[in-house]
């Protein structure tokens, strides 16, 4: 079995480390405590995939030594310490885990907002540390009826807005990169005019840190705000200009601010700390046990998928302009790659052609989808294939790639179908994504199986006669293979296809025993 080297450059949750250790296809290297120069010069050249956090800069020095690297997983949301253009030039896919710490950041934002309105940390200090009981000193304000301006209405900003609405606040959202209905459907106000945000009682920001957003709130913007405005930033440092923020707080124009992030960290000597109308925390947005578990396990899961060529979840440097595609498209692209990878395991032979069809709105993006499917399907035979060179590699190996837009689907809102043809035959898989975000196969080779696209999977095709399921279960039990899900479908030719998700790696011996059953027509095995 081929092994892939995954290097963990910074500390992640032990559950993520265990996932890497337990995968027999992964050569796991823990290098979080290694000197960074030694890490880059001696260890990174051996890595197929690297997992990093904020302590490791993926700069030109790092990239220069990443001679074997196919992907980087940034264990967190922010990628401002990753040279994405430099990685793209070298064909390195950059991924992050954008939703792992969502709830932690949302709840911290609400904590800061409430602390600012009620001056809670100061009253706490007054009583607990100074032992002064002076209720009349601590009159605050209620959230109810106040207007909240939300800059950035993504995973975190939208959830902050929903929680603020539960406090009966009036929400105004500014985000030029979303469909306004995402806001208006929640009975909130969407605006394209940034001045509307500046007129709010409380303002919170939830954007990435880039050229467009650095200093988005400065002296000029603060001057236009209401007297006594409250500002909150639990996103990234420097989104509020710190000099302007300091001056606004000192003058009283800004009544209170809740700040978790700073332009330069650690921020122990930041002048904002000298003020007595600010609530601060040391970049705790992801600091919950739950989010650290989520970050660690999702980073490990993504690293394993990337190392094996199954998928590159949440890739930041895709071969498409993400600003020009709706948010629903990206998960279909990732799912397409998984299906291509799965089909190539079911139908193990030289690939002749790959045909990708799209029903529904996803059909408008079927060309991009075909690129992802090609990467997944050919990753077994071509280690160097990626999104950038997929078309070239396919042509070089005489693999015909076809993309077809079929228009609307009669059954599913969006449906993708992959037909992989090899020297040995064809495999056709259809899949969709349901409203809850669940990726599901809905058909395999004409059988209407519905099954999740994950884990270890046995596909057992047989004559539709009594007793087969029992015999299959017995063989798996005798080989200590535990079944986690079982999907059975039949066709008009008196054949049945069982798709069996299992918790264990399945040995060749077990597959041979299944194939020896009299009713068996074929057995295949895929690992996702």
- For 418-443, the pLDDT digits (tens) are 999 998 899 999 999 987 788 999 99
Peptide bond into 266 cis (omega under 30): yes
Q: How sure is the predictor about 178, in pLDDT bands with cuts at 50, 70 and 90?
A: confident
pLDDT at 370: 94
Tokens 């609307």 belong to residue: 408
Tell me which of 265, 396, 400, 402 is the catalytic residue: 265
3-state secondary structure 419-443: EEEECCEEEEEEEEECCCCCEEEEE
Q: Which domains does the chain have, with CATH numbers?
A: 1-98+288-317 (3.40.50.720), 102-280 (3.40.50.720)
Q: Which of 112, 206, 255, 283 is catalytic?
A: 283
pLDDT exceeds cutoff 90 at 410: no
**Res. 78 pLDDT band, cuts 50 70 90:** confident
Q: What is the pLDDT of residue 384?
A: 64
Identify whether 265 is a catalytic site residue: yes
pLDDT tens for 315-374 read: 888 766 666 678 888 889 989 999 999 999 998 888 999 999 999 999 999 999 999 999
Tokens 């992959």 sit on residue:
418
Strands 483-490 and 520-527: unpaired
Give yes or no: 236 in active site.
yes
Asked about 283 being catalytic, the answer comes back as: yes
Walk across the sheet containing 189-191 and list its strands: 189-191, 170-174, 147-151, 202-205, 229-233, 254-259, 278-280
451-452, strands of its sheet edge to edge: 400-407, 351-360, 414-422, 425-433, 439-444, 451-452
Q: Can you list the alpha helix ranges (DSSP code H) found in 55-193?
A: 60-65, 84-89, 102-118, 120-128, 155-166, 181-184
* Mean predicted confidence (pLDDT) in 94-112: 94
Given the residues 159, 236, 301, 334, select the one marked as catalytic.
Answer: 236
What is the spatial distance between Cα 393 and Cα 526, in angstroms, rounded to a whole number? Answer: 24
H or E, element range at 296 = helix 289-308
How is residue 46 written in tokens?
């051996």
CB of 60 closer than 8 Å to CB of 92: no
């Amino acid at each position: 079995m081929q092994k892939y080297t995954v290097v963990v450059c910074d500390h992640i949750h032990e559950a993520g480390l265990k996932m890497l250790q337990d995968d027999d296809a992964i050569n796991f290297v823990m290098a979080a405590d290694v000197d960074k120069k030694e890490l880059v010069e001696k260890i990174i050249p051996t890595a197929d995939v690297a997992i990093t956090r904020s302590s490791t800069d993926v700069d030109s020095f790092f990239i220069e030594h990443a001679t074997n690297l196919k992907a980087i997983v940034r264990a967190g949301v922010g990628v401002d310490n990753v040279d994405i253009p430099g990685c793209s030039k070298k064909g390195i896919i950059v991924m992050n885990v954008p939703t792992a710490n969502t709830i932690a950041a949302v709840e911290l934002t609400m904590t800061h907002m409430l602390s600012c309105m009620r001056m809670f940390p100061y009253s706490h200090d007054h009583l607990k540390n100074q032992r002064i009981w002076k209720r009349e000193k601590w009159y605050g304000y209620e959230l109810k009826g106040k207007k909240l301006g939300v800059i950035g209405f993504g995973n975190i900003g939208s959830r902050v807005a929903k929680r603020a609405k539960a406090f009966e606040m009036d929400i105004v959202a500014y985000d030029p990169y979303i469909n306004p209905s995402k806001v208006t459907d929640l009975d909130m106000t969407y605006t394209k005019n940034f001045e509307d945000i500046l007129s709010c009682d409380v303002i919170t920001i939830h954007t990435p840190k880039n050229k467009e957003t650095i200093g988005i709130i400065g002296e000029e913007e603060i001057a236009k705000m209401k007297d006594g405005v409250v500002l909150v930033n639990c996103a990234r440092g420097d989104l509020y200009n710190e000099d302007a923020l300091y001056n606004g707080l000192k003058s009283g124009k800004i009544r209170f601010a809740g700040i978790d992030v700073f332009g330069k960290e650690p921020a122990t000597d930041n002048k904002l700390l000298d003020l007595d109308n600010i609530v601060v925390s040391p970049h705790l947005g992801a600091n919950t046990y739950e989010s650290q578990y989520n970050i660690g396990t999702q980073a490990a899961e993504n690293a394993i998928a990337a190392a094996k060529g199954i998928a590159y979840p949440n890739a930041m440097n895709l071969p498409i302009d993400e600003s020009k595609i709706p948010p629903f498209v990206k998960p279909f692209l990732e799912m397409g790659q998984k299906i291509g990878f799965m089909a190539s395991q079911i139908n193990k032979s030289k690939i002749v052609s790959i045909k990708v069809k799209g029903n529904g709105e996803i059909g408008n993006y079927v060309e991009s989808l075909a690129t992802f499917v090609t990467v997944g399907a050919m990753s077994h035979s071509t280690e160097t294939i990626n999104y950038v060179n997929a078309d070239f590699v396919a042509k070089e190996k005489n693999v015909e790639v076809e993309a077809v837009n079929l228009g609307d689907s009669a059954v599913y809102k969006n449906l993708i179908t992959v037909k992989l043809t090899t020297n040995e035959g064809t495999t056709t898989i259809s899949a969709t994504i349901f409203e809850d975000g669940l990726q599901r196969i809905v058909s395999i080779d004409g059988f209407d199986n519905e099954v999740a696209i994950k884990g270890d999977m046995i596909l057992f095709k047989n004559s539709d006669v009594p007793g087969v399921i029992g015999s299959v279960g017995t063989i798996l039990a005798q080989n200590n293979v535990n079944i986690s899900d079982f999907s059975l479908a039949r066709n008009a030719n008196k054949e049945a296809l069982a798709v069996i998700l299992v918790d264990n790696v399945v040995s060749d011996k077990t597959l041979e025993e299944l194939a020896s059953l009299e009713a068996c027509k074929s057995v295949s095995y895929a690992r996702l």
